[in-house]
Each structure stands twice: as structure tokens, then as C-alpha cells.
Amino acid sequence: MRIAIGSDHRGGGAVDHLERHLASRGHEVLSVWPCDADSCDYPEPAYAVARAVADGEADLGVVICGSGIGVSIAANKVPGIRAALARDAHAAEMSRRHNDANVLCAAADRDDPETIAAMVDAFTATAFEGGRHARRVEKIQVIERGGDPRQV
């Protein structure tokens, strides 16, 4: 699987760990926004990762900032992206299984690199369940196009 990853300055250590971890699991890692400065603004890596996924350059994405909130908000502005902020491996799994999330967001200030790696493992190992959940994802897509999901 090809996974795009990026972070702001707060998530740099987690991304370094994650690159090695994913490669050891046989994934191809696309580092789209390495933060090499003392400060990087979180919308930039969020956009770069989300764009790589939306454009088909990556199958899934992972983006990390201090809280995970900013990157989640920014990534979700890219059409076709369903970015989910996970706090544990169960939430990461459910974001794929029920919401067909394609970008995982994590909090470097809250979670250590091993915990983030465990969340990413659950995220990448889980497929979308479909069924009744497909109808709900379709309604999210209607909202994204400016429509009213109550009309579907």
C-alpha cells in the first residue's frame, strides 16, 4: 500500500518513526511534507497529504500535528477526503470500517510514536465495510458537493 505522510514541526519525530515502521511492514511511504524548520504551519502538510490521496498518488494518508485537530480540519477541506482524528487503534479501525476514512490524523502532543504506529497499523489493515455505511458516506459526498443529505 502506498501511504502519504506529513506533519508540522510538532509531529516530526512521530513521522520519522512512522516512515521506518511502515517500510518495515512493506508499505511504500510517500513523505509529502517533511518539516525541516523550527516551525511549519499545519495546513500545509494537511493539504499535501490530502491532495496526494485525492489525486491517487497514495492509497491512504497520515498527517500529524500537536493536537491532530488542525490537520483534520484542513485535510477535510480537500474534495474527496474523509480525514479522521483517532485517539486509539479502535477509533482508527472504525474510521475505515464505517466511514471509509482515507486520511488518519494524529496528535503528537498526546500520543507517542508507538501509539501512533499502532493506530496506523489498524487504519491500514481495515477495509470499508460498505452496506448501510455506504449510504452514509454517500450523504457525506452530497454535502461535499454542496447538497442537502436529507434529500438523498
Q: Which residues are catalytic?
A: 65, 98
Cell numbers given for 14: 512521530
Q: How far, in whole angstroms, is CA 51 from its chain's centroid?
A: 11
- 79: DSSP letter: T
Query: Among 56, 6, 10, which Cα is nearest to 29's?
Result: 6
Rounded Cα distance between 99 and 135, Å, is: 10
Q: By the 8 A CB rule, do 30 and 52 touch?
A: yes
Rounded Cα distance between 18 and 127, Å, is: 21
